[in-house]
Amino acid sequence: MDLVELRKRRKALHWSKILPYLPYVFQSGVAVLLLILMIAFSAWYTRFLQHIPEGLPIGWIMLLLLGPAVIYSGFRTYIHPADSVFLLPQEASMSKYFRPAFWSGILYKLLGTYFILLVLWPLYQRSDGIRHPFWFWLIVLLLLKLAGAYGAWQELKIASHRARTGFHLLRWSVLLLLLAAWIWQPAWKSLLFLILVMVNYVLALRFPMKHRVPWENLIAAEKASAAKNMLVLGWFVDVPAEGQGVSPRRWLDWIGKRISWSREGAYRYLLTKTLVRGELLGIGARLTILGAILVGWCGRTWLGLGLYLFFVFLIGAQLSVLRHAHRDSSAALYYPLPSGARKKEAADLGSRTLAGAAVMMWLPLLPQGDGPLIYLGGSLAAGLILVYAMRSNWNRKWREEEED
């Protein structure tokens, strides 16, 4: 069996499922919106570079933006559940299959990291601390990305879940430490420190027990990646439901227990548990935290208001996927759900969650004394009006879908 050709066929099959939906994505206006946002950001960033505030922590900004880009690693292997049986005889030769996945996973994410560096470079040139040459930055980011990708791949092979979690935290700590050393220390010191730490990190990865091919971990990671792709496409068009990862999150069990045990609350309970235990909650929480940080940093300014409304819209686009939850489940055919319960409960839960996120992103503005006080009430009102507008749009769109 030609394993390289097998991966090429599977990759082509995957993209054959994605490409037909892309015209709908562009027809939705997302391309125009992104272009407008890029123009607005370019104009703001140019003006910001001309009037950089004194004491701006440029080093911390570099660490905050480049750190996750360097550390994050993901690999598309296109492994199927049946492969753990039918490809098991080829286990000794599977490196031919995985090698393209490893290097392509590094290449595309490295290009994204370099793009972030290019955007930050004019700001970095105006910093008062140590400044390294641009080509030094390219080499160091390449080394860090290689180390991060190698560590992430080895983590997939580790047999123990507890050890895998520990090495995941170790990878984040090591790479953030090395990037921080490069930002704030002279080149020769940081390069020497980088080489010593990376050698010890690679040696440490040899100690845990590993599988030759971690079939179960690769299958779970591939399912999660495919589900995320469909989750993004689901913002714009109806797509087939894909299995998503489930997180217990027992500390949020009380949310479901507050729902009345009745026919009217049956689908509300199911949808609430889906949100609490699914990936959608993690995505929304990360966007809320990032939005709160940026809004608090910009303060009571028009830029802060624009970012605030943008993140409310972005989280709302994520939550609109609740409409498709359990849509393909056969259980909905024989459960005695009230008429219109799916649409109503999805809109109610999505709008309540979005309103909570809007309030949380607004809170960082309270302790700031600069700016007009009317800005506080006006920004919160604008956010809640946007929430109501998105709920109304959901109801109208879903009603039209049902009529069709």
Question: Which segment of 39-53, 136-150, 222-236, 237-251 scores lowest on mean pLDDT?
Answer: 237-251
Same domain, 98 and 187: yes
Structure token pair of residue 134 = 């641009």
What confidence tens digit (pLDDT) does each residue in 14-30 have? 888 888 877 767 666 66
The CA distance from 161 to 164, in Å, is 5
Q: What is the pTM of this model?
A: 0.71
**To the nearest whole number, what is the mean pLDDT of the chain?**
81
Q: Is residue 390 part of a domain?
A: yes
Quick check: 148 and 198 in contact, CB under 8 A? no
Same domain, 302 and 185: no
Question: What's the pLDDT band for 117 if we cut at 50, 70, 90?
Answer: very high
What confidence tens digit (pLDDT) does each residue in 137-188 have? 999 999 999 999 999 999 999 988 889 999 999 999 999 999 999 999 888 8
What confidence tens digit (pLDDT) does each residue in 175-201 have? 999 999 999 988 888 899 999 999 999
State the CB neighbour count (10 A cutoff) for residue 231: 20
Burial of 228 (0-12, 13-18, 19+ CB in 10 A): middle
Q: Is residue 233 part of a domain?
A: no
What confidence tens digit (pLDDT) does each residue in 273-328 have? 777 777 777 778 888 888 888 888 777 777 778 888 888 888 888 787 777 666 65
Same domain, 252 and 163: no
Is the alpha carbon torsion for 264, 270, 273, 275 positive or negative? Answer: negative
pLDDT value, residue 172: 93
Radius of gyration from C-alpha coordinates of the chain: 24
Q: Is residue 167 part of a domain?
A: yes
Highest mean pLDDT: which of 113-117, 239-243, 251-255, 256-260? 113-117
pLDDT value, residue 199: 92
Question: What's the pLDDT band for 39 if we cut at 50, 70, 90?
Answer: confident
Q: Which residues constitute the domain of residue 258? A: 246-403
Same domain, 208 and 251: no
Question: What's the pLDDT band for 92 if we cut at 50, 70, 90?
Answer: confident
Of the three residues 181, 205, 221, the one that is the final residue of a domain is 221
300 φψ region: left (φ > 0), alpha (ψ -120 to 50), beta (else): beta
pLDDT at 99 over 60: yes
The CA distance from 69 to 71, in Å, is 6
Same domain, 277 and 159: no
Of the three residues 204, 221, 238, the one that is the final residue of a domain is 221
Same domain, 178 and 91: yes
Same domain, 207 and 107: yes
Q: Is residue 235 part of a domain?
A: no
pLDDT value, residue 348: 84
Quick check: 299 and 371 in contact, CB under 8 A? yes
Q: Is residue 197 part of a domain?
A: yes
Domain count, the chain: 2
Find where tokens 């390289």 sit. Answer: 4
The DSSP secondary-structure symbol of 52 reads P
Of the three residues 221, 255, 285, the one that is the final residue of a domain is 221
Question: What's the pLDDT band for 329 if we cut at 50, 70, 90?
Answer: low
Structure token pair of residue 113 = 């990291």
Question: Which segment of 61-70, 158-167, 370-379 scores lowest on mean pLDDT?
Answer: 370-379
Same domain, 58 and 174: yes
Q: Is residue 22 part of a domain?
A: yes
Q: Is residue 227 part of a domain?
A: no
Q: Is residue 237 part of a domain?
A: no
Same domain, 150 and 259: no
Same domain, 369 and 282: yes
Same domain, 179 and 288: no
Same domain, 135 and 280: no
